[in-house]
A and B are shown apart, each in its own frame.
Chain A
Amino acid sequence: QKEVEQNSGPLSVPEGAIASLNCTYSDRGSQSFFWYRQYSGKSPELIMSIYSNGDKEDGRFTAQLNKASQYVSLLIRDSQPSDSATYLCAVKSGGSNYKLTFGKGTLLTVNP
């Protein structure tokens, strides 16, 4: 079983809609969770981090964490064409306070 799983997509939403990206992880001891955005041919860019159960909002982005279900999600409100990218979920497992384990990423396309 892969440690961090994401639906590879592509996920296609119309401009202005809410995009919902999901991620599950296998290590119940994981403590830190991150969403990175990666444009084609570019490096990952950190957009959200979350450490405790519940929601964390930053502008149009909301990260949601449910440790009991081992599930983390990213909502993007009012999606824009410029949000079109691959979104990578990354987890620091309980046994390491430094190593990020990434999912394969979900390709999001926002259609004008």
Chain B
Amino acid sequence: GAGVSQTPSNKVTEKGKYVELRCDPISGHTALYWYRQSLGQGPEFLIYFQGTGAADDSGLPNDRFFAVRPEGSVSTLKIQRTERGDSAVYLCASSLEASARAQYFGPGTRLTVL
């Protein structure tokens, strides 16, 4: 079946602009996660959704970052007033449920802030 999909695959923006990154999880997966991966680092947790609600947003770096999942499926990560330090690959993952053992990652969105 279809895996996790993310759009766009690449996004180049200017400092100070607003961006939205989209994630479409595997069908039937109730848990959805956003991670951020900087060059040479492992992915770092940003936020976790169980259904429509953000169960844990403790990894979001600051209040410029926000994520929604209004219908319990597709999620959007929103970044306001982007900064050069936001440049990274943003990875989305999903799992059947939060305690499920396997998280499956999408291809990621490479964000570049000029």
Could you say which of B101, B105, B107, B108 contacts A49, with CB atoms under 8 Å apart? B101
Instruction: Tell me the bound Cα distance from A46 to B103 in angstroms.
Output: 8
Min CB distance, A38 to chain B, in Å?
A: 9
Instruction: Spell out B's residues near A (CB within 8 Å).
Output: 31, 33, 35, 40-45, 48, 55-56, 59, 91, 95, 98-99, 101-108
**Which residue of chain A has the shortest Cβ distance to B41 in the bound complex?**
A104
Per-position 1/0 for A23-53, Cβ under 8 A of B: 0000000001010100000111110010100
Q: Check B48–A105 contact: CB distance below 8 A.
A: no
Is residue A62 contacting chain B, with contact meaning CB distance below 8 A? no
Min CB distance, A65 to chain B, in Å?
A: 14
Is residue A90 contacting chain B, with contact meaning CB distance below 8 A? yes
Instruction: Spell out A's residues near B (CB within 8 Å).
Output: 4, 8, 32, 34, 36, 42-46, 49, 51, 88, 90, 96-105
> B35, B41, B44, B103 — which one has the most chain A CB atoms within 10 A of its CB?
B103
**Which residue of chain A has the shortest Cβ distance to B91 in the bound complex?**
A43
Min CB distance, A7 to chain B, in Å?
A: 13
Could you say which of B44, B56, B105 contacts A98, with CB atoms under 8 Å apart? B56
Could you say which of B33, B99, B108 contacts A97, with CB atoms under 8 Å apart? B99
Q: Check A43–B107 contact: CB distance below 8 A.
A: yes
Could you say which of B33, B42, B95 contacts A104, with CB atoms under 8 Å apart? B42
Q: Check B41–A43 contact: CB distance below 8 A.
A: no
**Which residue of chain B has the shortest Cβ distance to A46 in the bound complex?**
B102
Q: Which residues of A contact B106 (CB under 8 A)?
A: 43
